[in-house]
Amino acid sequence: MKRNFLQLAAVALAFALGGCSDDNTIVSPNGNQTINPIDNPIAKCHNGRFVGAVEDNGVLSFKGIPYAKAPVNELRWKAPLPAEASNDTIQAKDFGNSAIQPYSPTETASSRTRSEDCLTLNVWTKDLTTKNKPVMIWIHGGSYISGGTSDPLSEGKFLVAGNPDIVLVTINYRLGLMGFIDFSHVPGGTDFPDAPYLGILDQQMAMRWVQQNIEAFGGDPKNVTIFGESAGGGSVCCHLVAKGSEGLFQHAIAMSGALNLTFSQKDFDKYDMAEALLRLSGCYTMDELMAIPEERILELIEMETGRFGIEGGSILSHLNNHPMRDDERSIIPTDPFKALAEGASKDVDVIIGSTSEEMKYWAYLYTYLGEDGLQLFCDRFLSGKEEEARQALGEGGGVIDKFIETAVCEQDEVSAKYPKIWERTELQTEMFFRMANIIMARNHVAAGGSGKTYMYYFGKGLENPDIKWLGACHSCELTYAFNIENFEKLGPLDPVLTKNFSTAFTNFARTGNPSLTGIVWTPYTPEGVNTMVIGNDCSMKMQETPRMNQVDLLLPYYLKFYFNK
């Protein structure tokens, strides 16, 4: 569900490689020049000898490594298959293709080549000789419909430079109508049972590739942490309960994403992306859909239809389906919250967290619609979400109005022009993010396993004067997590908080405990001092659950709202 604040153009550097004379030498195509292996590190994996690069800070990077067969032709909308074994020498110096997605000026990955052939990953490591280093696998966000590993907010070289004992992996996966679509009502659709959660299967395949190959980069396959933000955080939570994810990781960090970011069959039927695809493409059967050229699919997701949407102009790019939850049809159970409480991943250490003003980011997206953008945010987005909640809660719908009347939010020039905008936005922050986080944390504790549970609440806002009104909005903590000290568009970034927050995550990857020197991060309990609060003053302190009055008001109604019954 994340979008970037900065659009960057990626520059691809072509470098032709020839055969290998031995394990340590690369010979150029004409055979007359030997390329220095010190500047061209080689990692031998089961599917190739990958030639990486040395970043400007000395970190080694290997980019665009395929972890599965390209899901094209007869493999379109099918579960991923492992990459075939190979001894070929392959350049790994640039990110792979981005997944099929709509172009957006706020999403860097969409400005790169977009293709069905997108199942690649990237590895950053300080050296190839040190062994048994903890491994962190990053799953990007983007509403399950956009994003990619080329996102500068998740640039890997800074995290590894500050933590040279860590191996970092970032992965691409199928998105939108290629990764999360239900064909059960389309003639021939029963032959594509995995289509509603292909992106999750892709992530599992990437994790299996890591298990098989990460030792070539110095990583320890028995000490793996998965982490992600937004849809990436939701994906992390899916793996906590999904069939096939067992044993692929030992620790998990879910940033601004929880088990609520899943769809029931009823949700798929309501939005019916498959029907929209059939209508816009003029197809009637799966055979016809399978025959659509990739170029036509890219055209369809950009097609203007009159359907209102800030995350793309067409109905296909507006419908951001989530992974399917269904005991009969999916690898994700129908009630994933219950599955967590019953012991799924009870022995996995988990960090769950959110920012204090998540939904202000969506207000920011609406400013792209012009001068009336924030008015549309109030009239369409907020009003629509509030009405959905009232319908779901029935007689309990009055809690929505009570929350808006009693919430305490900082007032500014925006709220002076649009009364109650921030109180209404705060309601959505709670309903979409924090309520699900708290239920997950409580259920993971209740499971009684050996896995510890930790929670954070990130309140350090943006400092760029032009966007300071966004506060601690969705995705604002990414630069801190990735140890990125300089990101101009976001304003000054505190170097101490950057180091502390990223080190808390890497400590967690090392040992399952995110505590720092002088900052003890204690496990979550339903009561008492249970949350690491990152303040706007850059402090990190354990406190009781913030805004507990809001939690008490909404939490009793949340699961009824989530399951819409």
| DSSP letter for each residue of 242-280 | -TT-TTS-SEEEEES--TTS-B-HHHHHHH-HHHHHHHH
**Are 468 and 410 spatial neighbours (Cβ–Cβ below 8 Å)?**
no
Q: Residue 99: CB partners within 8 Å, gap ≥ 6?
A: 109, 114, 115, 118, 148, 172, 173, 174, 175, 176, 178, 179
Closest among 350, 188, 162 to 278, alpha carbons compared: 188
Q: Cα torsion for 152, 259, 301, 174, to the nearest 10°?
A: 70
CA distance 138 to 376: 34
> Which amino acid, residue 481?
A
Q: Which of 230, 256, 314, 354 is catalytic?
A: 230
Active site residue 230: yes
H or E segment to which residue 125 belongs: strand 120-125
DSSP 237: H
Map residue 554 onto helix, strand or coil: helix
Q: How far is CA 13 from the centre of its chain?
A: 27
Closest among 89, 285, 49 to 183, alpha carbons compared: 285
CA distance 301 to 102: 6
CA distance 445 to 349: 10
| DSSP letter for each residue of 342-377 | TTTTTTSEEEEEEETTTTHHHHHHHGGG-TTHHHHI
CA distance 455 to 253: 10
Q: Residue 129: CB partners within 8 Å, gap ≥ 6?
A: 218
Q: Residue 73: CB partners within 8 Å, gap ≥ 6?
A: none
Residue reference for tokens 């990110």: 95
Residue 146 backbone dihedrals phi, psi, to 5 degrees: -150, 175
Residue reference for tokens 């793309």: 312
Q: Residue 450, exposed/middle/buried by CB under 10 A (0-12, 13-18, 19+)? A: exposed
Q: Known catalytic residues?
A: 230
